[in-house]
Amino acid sequence: MRIREGDPLEIFTDSDGEVVLKKYSVLSELADGADKAAQVISKLSGTPAVVFDRDHVVAVSGAHKKEYLERRVSPALEEIFESRRAYFADNDSAKPLMPIEGIEKRALTVVPIISSGDCTGAVALVAADESSKATHEHEMLARAAAMFLGKQGEVG
């Protein structure tokens, strides 16, 4: 379930009266903003944009939504969360970063979303095809979207 000590949880009951525990995601509550941010940076960059919470894809633009939404993050993306460092695909890079489990699309750039001091997810631009190259503009667009979403998720 990828629940770690200290992770916030939502507790509610279902229609049968059973108690349900669900990992809380700030970005799930900001899904509309995440979707709009993905649309804007995808349109400006000309590449697919993906917004993740700590566990899965919450928004995508420029690619088939049904294929991407709710997919789990890859172990490589989990390492980005832990390090809190942005990733930029060096065009000479031997091993590409694949951010989404089950989808063979390499990341051009990935920027963690930091909200109230915590890493709550990431914004990524992914290669549309094999010839896609990472640019400084890709990185700046992903950084801007990550900063915006981080500010949206802050309390007070």
Beta bridge partners of 118: 115
In this structure, is the dihedral angle defined by the CA atoms of residues 122, 126, 132 and 138, taken in order, positive or negative?
negative
pLDDT tier for residue 70 given thresholds of 50, 70 and 90: confident
| Radius of gyration from C-alpha coordinates of the chain | 16
What stretches of the chain show up as alpha helix (H) in DSSP? Answer: 26-29, 31-45, 65-68, 75-83, 136-152
Q: Which residues contact 60 (CB under 8 A, 6 or more apart)?
A: 38, 48, 49, 50, 51, 68, 69
Angle (CA) 48-113-79 rounded to 5° is: 85
Does 72 have pLDDT greater than 60?
yes
Domains by residue range for the chain, with CATH? 30-152 (3.30.450.40)
Does 68 have pLDDT greater than 70?
yes
Segment 24-28 mean pLDDT: 56
Beta bridge partners of 13: 19
pLDDT tier for residue 3 given thresholds of 50, 70 and 90: low
pLDDT at 77: 94
Q: Token digits for 135? A: 């640019």
Segment 54-81 mean pLDDT: 91
Angle (CA) 93-96-102 rounded to 5° is: 175
Backbone angles phi, psi at 108, to 5 degrees: -85, -40
Segment 62-89 mean pLDDT: 91
Q: Is the pTM of this model over 0.85?
A: no
The structure tokens 């379930």 sit at 1
Q: What is the pLDDT of residues 93-148, one digit of tens each?
A: 668 899 999 999 999 999 999 988 888 899 999 998 888 889 999 999 999 999 99
Higher pLDDT, 20 or 46: 46
